[in-house]
Structure 1
């Protein structure tokens, strides 16, 4: 049996940030990634938005870690040459019936510590985005976009420079609580291997609940249910007349079909919300009809035949359809009683923005 100090399960953006932070603190770290590259799941299938922390419940982990994570992420990107842009975002009330909801969003953001939002009336919106249909809008100047792949490569490089090692095609199939840590059975290159680690951080994203459920000695009540909420994106083949990101008021399960621009200027719309039972990244072209209808509420000039299927991502939910949104769960020993184990559950948006802040929280726990 191989013995290591720390194991991080999962090499998405959060797992890499955690591994980097642990390695920089002087810990010996091994990262186990079931795929053959970093960030092939949720971390590379999202809007690549740096969120400000507007929508979350005040005092929640999502609110605190997003606000702090945004600051840390912008600093990190500037220092490490990770491409990003503080482009700003408009949250749009398309008509007067949505103004009260927009006001509630403003109040919620203020309670979360977001102090830079600006209220814009119809004429003010028209001055900065003439093509936008908006009765009113909130401007979030500190919302931005980031090259998520470049960020993950930078985090991986930092972690490895600090001594961390990463094993690809390494899938955790079971675990057990031991006297001096945890034992993990790992399948790598088709062969089983046993590892004993003092510290295990379960950052397996979509499969975090599966990894936790396979650990003998962790009580079942400390493993949440697992749900998948798929979000599809459509790209726009025509030039869009916008310089800001554009968001409608939120919808149940997500933030609505918003318009984001990547760092090359390509526009995309999404994601929608589709509850599914199994991993499926296919984008149904027939979904474009609903996209046209939703987008034209705030951009009436969207041309016909301008949308084409883009890509899809899946949110790792720990509550089901129709239930109130769940907070991040960062479960350490004080929660479940297992020494040396930290489980990260429900790390959906704003997980990318919050990744460095989550990593700092994990290091403090272990």
Structure 2
């Protein structure tokens, strides 16, 4: 039986980045992924939008929550750009953030200042010069932002390569069949099973976490599923364009392609599936036409994505925030929130694992001894 310091179940962005960081501090790591490819879920079904707080600082009603998410995005934006600069696209172009509600311009600018979000307001004339095909008549405020597009596939490739270089092992196309304490029985697609164990097991399996945890531990994780949609089409503009208002389109570009989502589009669903809801997809297409009235693309693709959150209070509001829970000792559930928040999540996980998986080679600090004595 192979023994590891940490086993990570799920190889989306949270699982891959956790594996990379834990491997780099010298821990023996294994990653188990049920699918035959890595990061096949929401980690790749997104706009490829590396946020820098621009949207979240002003779109979340609570100022405290808005600033928290914005600052985590700024933190993640910097870390991801430093880790994988080669994945950043259109470095020489600043996306346009549009605000339809003119009564909120001063409020939004104040929020950006308070959260540390960089922006520069420009005129409609300047915006039309940058993107002649776009309709800016509905935009009361137009701003240049520092959000960027990111090639997530290249990012994940570097995360995997770095983790492997530090000894991480990947079990792709393997299902977790049974748990016994800190041992996992896993099985590949040919029915060949093996047993592996670890000091800690992290479940970073996204929408699959609830059913997996219930199967293995008999515990229900109060998790909800939220479906939203994307359109993939030919490239529509030189730089990214996104509205800050709800029910408007937001797009990022990757080479000759635009990937476009819809603000506040998510609808709660009973179970995770990638089936497209036609009327929701059509709402998004109408949102695209509000910015680009002449847009027509028979080859455009509608895509559904499912994200998850935890229902932890009587407040029914959707919250795709970072979450780390340990319902069963040693078996940790980790949800990343947004792609750009994943560095914050994974740094918190590294700190947690460091405390629980000892390294006798490294001297303890006086404060560690005091904590132990207490």
**Same fold flag (TM > 0.5):** yes
Q: Give a deviation string over 1:279-333, Cα, whole Å, max 9, x none.
A: 432446665543343233333x33355673243322223359x932325343256
Q: Give a deviation string over 1:203-226, Cα, whole Å, max 9, x none.
A: 111112333334549xx5xx6422
For 1:342 and 1:288, locate their aligned partners in 2 and report how far apart those are by CA, in whole Å.
35
SS state of the match for residue 296, structure 1?
A: helix
Q: Give a deviation string over 1:317-361, Cα, whole Å, max 9, x none.
A: 3359x932325343256xx572x443213x34x2x2233332222
For 2:186 and 2:69, locate their aligned partners in 1 and report how far apart those are by CA, in whole Å.
31
Residue 354 of structure 1 corresponds to 341
Please identify, of 35-44 and 19-28, the stretch whose mean Cα deviation from structure 2 is larger: 35-44
SS state of the match for residue 3, structure 2?
A: strand
Equivalent pairs, count = 338
1:144 aligns with 2:148: yes
Seen in structure 2, the aligned counterparts of structure 1 residues 183 and 37 have a Cα distance that, compared at 3 Å, is same
Deviation at 1:143, TM superposition (A): 0.5
Please identify, of 288-297 and 35-44, the stretch whose mean Cα deviation from structure 2 is larger: 288-297
SS state of the match for residue 87, structure 2?
A: coil
Residue 234 of structure 1 corresponds to 231
TM-score by length of 1: 0.80
SS state of the match for residue 42, structure 1?
A: coil
For 1:65 and 1:304, locate their aligned partners in 2 and report how far apart those are by CA, in whole Å.
37
1:313 aligns with 2:305: yes
Residue 69 of structure 2 corresponds to 62
Residue 183 of structure 1 corresponds to 183
Seen in structure 2, the aligned counterparts of structure 1 residues 138 and 22 have a Cα distance that, compared at 3 Å, is farther
Seen in structure 2, the aligned counterparts of structure 1 residues 5 and 287 have a Cα distance that, compared at 3 Å, is closer
1:154 aligns with 2:155: no
For 1:198 and 1:173, locate their aligned partners in 2 and report how far apart those are by CA, in whole Å.
19
Residue 247 of structure 1 corresponds to 242
For 1:224 and 1:62, locate their aligned partners in 2 and report how far apart those are by CA, in whole Å.
23
Seen in structure 2, the aligned counterparts of structure 1 residues 85 and 297 have a Cα distance that, compared at 3 Å, is same
- In the TM superposition, structure 1's runs of 4+ consecutive aligned residues that sit over 6 Å from their partners are none
Q: Give a deviation string over 1:61-115, Cα, whole Å, max 9, x none.
A: 633432111001111122xx33533443222234xxx12345444333333332x
Q: Is the 8 A contact 1:88 1:139 kept in 2?
A: no
For 2:248 and 2:195, locate their aligned partners in 1 and report how far apart those are by CA, in whole Å.
44
Q: Is the 8 A contact 2:5 2:29 kept in 1?
A: yes
Root mean square deviation of aligned Cα: 3.0
Seen in structure 2, the aligned counterparts of structure 1 residues 61 and 358 have a Cα distance that, compared at 3 Å, is farther
Deviation at 1:174, TM superposition (A): 4.3
For 1:213 and 1:110, locate their aligned partners in 2 and report how far apart those are by CA, in whole Å.
44
The correspondence for 1:172, drawn from 168, 173, 176, is 176
The correspondence for 1:261, drawn from 243, 253, 257, is 253
Residue 207 of structure 1 corresponds to 208
